[in-house]
Amino acid sequence: MQLEIHREIEDKMKKTVAVVQDELNSIRAGRANPAMLDRITVEYYGAQTPLKQIATVAAPEPRMITIQPFDPTVLTEVEKAIQKSDLGINPNNDGKIIRLVIPQLTEERRKDLSKLVKAKAEEGRVAIRNERRTGNDVLKKMEKAGELTEDDLKQAQDEIQKLTDQYIEKIESMVEAKEKEILEV
């Protein structure tokens, strides 16, 4: 029973780390990264469609992203979606392909992005701690119901704490790498 609880908590912690990784990837760090556009959706035949599903997104140069829609009629919609996004990049449309030139980050913008990275990481750490609390609450209820002994409870809580430490450490290493990438001139 407690193994099921551990697996369930570990799965939720893995998902939390994956979400944090996705959010960190979407933060632009001065270098062209197609993952920056993962959150952008485009109005396509009346439905909001992720950009990756309607276009080829590539980074042919360190400071440029190209977007080539499979259907050329959607170019203006893609352009509008990029302008509405929080990227702060103005798209260049040549009729066939959209180019996004990634500007060099200013020192102030680097500091702002670094703060944003730390905030996203803190959200992830809080979510992992919440999973730990949920798991511990379930274990305490099991002990009250007589399904676990006090020693088993203590051991299970220690295991959950080890998982918590392990996944928080993963988030820390991701944050470190992202901050290094952002502050790199």
Per-residue pLDDT of the chain (185 residues; tens, 9 = 90+): 677 888 999 999 999 999 999 888 877 666 777 878 888 888 888 888 888 888 888 888 888 889 999 988 888 888 888 888 877 788 888 888 999 888 787 888 888 888 989 999 999 999 999 999 999 999 999 889 888 888 888 999 999 999 999 999 999 999 998 888 887 75
Report the Cα 130 to chain-centroid distance in Å: 18
Q: Where in the chain is the domain with CATH 1.10.132.20?
A: 2-25+106-183
Confidence (pLDDT) at 30: 67
CATH of domain 2-25+106-183: 1.10.132.20
Write the CB contacts of 103 (distance below 8 Å, at least 6 apart in sequence). Answer: 63, 89
Please list the residue range(s) of the chain that carry CATH number 3.30.1360.40. Answer: 34-101
Q: CA 156 to CA 135: how far, in whole Å?
A: 9
CATH of 34-101, one of 3.30.1360.40, 3.30.70.100, 1.10.1270.20, 3.90.1150.10: 3.30.1360.40
The angle, 0 to 180 degrees and rounded to 10, between the axes of the packed helices 2-25 and 107-144 is 170
